[in-house]
Amino acid sequence: MRVFLGLAALILGSTCGEIAITHGMKSVGEPARLRPKAVLRFLARTVRNGWFWTGIPLMALSFYALLLLLSWEPISLVIPASALSYVVGTLGAKFILGEDVSTARWAGVILVCLGVALVAAG
- Cα radius of gyration (the chain): 17
Mean pLDDT, residues 42-56 taken together: 94
Q: Is the confidence at residue 31, as pLDDT, over 90?
A: no
Angle at 21 between CA 19 and CA 23, to 5 degrees: 65
Is pLDDT above 80 for 122? no
Dihedral angle, C-alpha 105, 109, 115, 119, nearest 10 °: 150
pLDDT digits (tens, 9 = 90+) for 58-83: 999 999 999 999 999 999 888 888 88
